[in-house]
Amino acid sequence: MILLAVWIAAGRYFGTRPIIAKALSRWGHILLHVGLNGIGLPILIEGGAFGL
């Protein structure tokens, strides 16, 4: 619960900064996909999903 509160506070802090909010509104949809793929690919590779 404490770490969740930290993530929420960080999101609020960065989301209320005009420069960061503008960049996220422009590039956020791309960053989300890059981040999720960056997390998912190592999980699939370590799990042997590709037979490697």
Contacts of 50 (CB under 8 A, 6+ apart): 44
Alpha-carbon separation of residue 1 from 7, 10, 13, 42 (angstroms): 10, 14, 18, 26
23-37 confidence digits (pLDDT tens)? 988 998 999 999 999
Amino acid identity of residue 24, one-letter, is L
pLDDT value of residue 50: 85
pLDDT over threshold 80, residue 52: no
pLDDT value of residue 3: 96
5-14 confidence digits (pLDDT tens)? 999 999 999 8
0.75 exceeded by pTM: no
Alpha-carbon separation of residue 26 from 3, 5, 6, 10, 17 (angstroms): 27, 26, 25, 19, 14
